[in-house]
Structures are given as structure tokens and as C-alpha cells.
Amino acid sequence: MERISRREFLKISAGFAVSLALPLKLSAEEKHKISGPLIGVARGEKNKLVKAAVDAIGGMDKFIKPGDRVLIKPNISFSANAECGATTSSEVIKQVVELCLDAGASKITIIDYPLANPDLCIERSGVRQAIVDKNRVNLLMLSKERQFVEIEVPDGKELKTVKIARELQKADKFINLPTAKSHSATGVSLGIKNLMGLIWDRSYLHRVDLHRAIAELGLIMKPDLTIVDATRVLTSGGPGGPGKTVILNTVIAGADMVAVDSYTVGISSWYNKSFTGKNVKYILYASELGLGEIDTEKMVIKEVKV
């Protein structure tokens, strides 16, 4: 047996140690990266929130490619005053529109199917200020059945077929832009709940199990990006207000709609009580359907102050 010198032994053992440790460390890093969805949270000055939050998850270029037709769905369904928090604030909508334009979007449609009088919703929410480029940005308030198209819900238990907005099929990218608010039936109204504003027969959902039906909407409508406007949060009295409105000046962004919703539940108290995403039926059911991550422990949360 050949003897080795001490030096050589040290060399080899060091090499072994490194070669053993390196993959361990690498895999740890790798695992950390893919372990959960990325959530960007920005707090601070109102006018920079959206860019900061989206930049934290890789920037708008990651989601919007030049030439894309983008559909933005804010919640401008109520004719409540903008400060109340029942609708997505026009400043936030405007920032999203501008980011999309900068990323090279060819056409942007801001869409909603309002519950209240459409003209009043437009007026009160101030959404017109988001139309920064008349050639590329337009506003569409749905009102007719023919603006919707019937599609099947794969694996739907509560919903078999749903009529969704035709525009959804025409768009290349879909940005879900809810406002964070309380809701007297579902508890909170966030991203998944906001999808209800793109279907024709909303009242049908109330005649079946509402919470499961809302979760199942996630099976057919998959936003590329969800941005929650929590600049002001209607913590009670929702969905229409008036109620208790809290100023949080926060925007949450992420590609995983369930994760964004689940995280947002935790940033505020609702009806003077604290909840997590798992406490909200429709978010829980959506995660059970495999639509996204509900556990905030498993998310990669990047918080930014601006």
C-alpha cells in the first residue's frame, strides 16, 4: 500500500470536503429558489408602489412581451367614492397601464362588468385617468350577454359551464388587479374573487356553493400576473361600503394568484379580527384545487420600501 504524505492527505480530504459540501450548498440554493412562488410587496409612496412591487418579482418585462395585447381587470364595479376602498384606485390602475406600455404592450384593455351604473362607476373610480394613451389604451364596461362566451369548466364540481368575457380569449396577457376589501359573504374580496367580474351570470354562483364556485373560476381564468391594490383597505362594510377604511399604502404582486391572496389576508385585520389565507374558504378551496400555494411559509416574499 502506497503511503501518502500529510500534505497530500490534507489536499485530498479538503477536496473531498469541498466536493461534498458544494453540491449540498448548491442544492440548498436551488431548492430555495423553486420552493415557493415569488411575492413582491411594496410599501410607501403611492406613486411608486406598483413598479417597486413588480420589479421585486422580476419586472414587467418578465410578464409582458413587446406587441402583447393586455387585458387588465380592476375592480371598478361599485359607484362608491374612490376613497372608500370598494374599488381599485385609479392611481394604481394608471401605474399598471404605464408599466405595460413601457414593456411594449400593443393594446391595453381595462375591463369590468360593473354591478352599479357603469357611467357612475367610471366617474367615481376616476378610471379615465388611467387612459394615458388613447390609441393604445381603452376602457370596456361589459353590459351585454353577447360580450360573453360559454366555456366548459374542466373538473368543475359546482360549475359545469361558465360564460366568460370574450375579451379574455382575445388577449395575450391577463393582469388581475383587485382591490383588497372585506366582503360580507366571502370574508375578503381579493384576486380570485375579482374574477367573478368577468362572468355573465354571477347570481348563479350564489345559488350553488359560493366559495367552491369562486375557487373553480380559477380553473378557467388564469391571470399572468395578480397585483393587489392595498393602498387603502376597506376592512368592514365590504364589498360596497361604506365601512372602516384603513390606509396601508401597500401593493402586492405575484404570478401565483392564490399565494398573493393568501399573503394579502395577513396584512390587515378584517372585521376587527386577524385571519390567514387558510381561514378564507375560497382561497383554501382554490389551493386544494392545486391552483397555487396558500402557505406563506413556503413563499419567497420580497418586501421593498419606497
Partner 1 sequence: MDPLILLIVSISNHLLLNSYLYSLVLIFSTLLFGRFFCGFICPLGTVIDLTELAGKLPSLKFRPELKNFKYLILLFLIISAILGVSFIYYFDPIVIFERSLLLIVFPVITFFFGFFTAEPSFAYVESLFAIIFLAIIIGLNFLTRRFWCQNICPLGGLFAFLSKFSLFRFVFDNKCKKCALCEKVCPTDAIDSKSERVDSSECILCLRCNYECPENIIRYKSKFLRPKFDIKRRELLLTTGSAMILAPLLRSTYHQRLEGRLIRPPGSIPEAEFLNRCLHCGRCMKICPTNGLQPCIFESGITGMWTPRLIPRIGACEKNCNMCGKVCPTSAIRNLSLEEKSYVKIGTAIIDRVRCIAWEQNKTCLICDEACQYNAINMVNETIQGVTLGRPYVDERICTGCGMCEYRCPVEGESAIRVYAIGEERRASGSYITEEKKKLRSCEEKEEDIPSGFIIE
Written as one string, the DSSP assignment of 176-215 is: EE-EEEEETTTEEE-HHHHGGGGBS-HHHHHHS-HHHHHH
Applying CB under 8 A, among 33, 65, 206, 298 the residue interacting with partner 1 is: 206
Nearer of residues 64 and 280 to partner 1, judged by Cβ:
280
CB of 203 to partner 1, least distance (A): 3
- Judged by CB under 8 A, the chain residues 253 through 292 that form the site for partner 1 are 270-271, 273, 275, 278-282, 284
Tell which one of 23, 207, 266, 288 touches partner 1 (CB under 8 A): 207
Compute the distance between CA of residue 21 and CA of residue 205 in angstroms, rounded to an integer: 54
Binding mask 182-201 for partner 1 (x = CB under 8 A): xxxxxxx-------------
* CA 302, chain centre distance (Å): 15
Nearer to partner 1, 243 or 254 (CB): 243
Of residues 129 and 184, the one with the C-beta less far from partner 1: 184
248-259 burial, b for 16+ CB within 10 Å, e for fewer?
bebbbbbbbbbb
Contact 163, 199 (CB under 8 A): yes
How many residues of this chain bind partner 1 (CB under 8 A)? Answer: 41
Residues 93-152 that bind partner 1 (CB under 8 A): 115, 117, 120, 141-144, 147
Of residues 87, 227, 229, 71, the one with CA closest to residue 139: 71
- Angle at the Cα of 94 from the Cα atoms of 88 and 95, rounded to 5 degrees: 100
C-alpha–C-alpha distance, residues 171 and 224, integer Å? 11
The answer to the question of residue 302 lying near partner 1 (CB under 8 A) is no
Task: Please report, as ranges, the residues that interact with partner 1 according to CB under 8 A.
Answer: 79, 115, 117, 120, 141-144, 147, 182-188, 203-204, 206-211, 236-237, 239-240, 242-244, 270-271, 273, 275, 278-282, 284
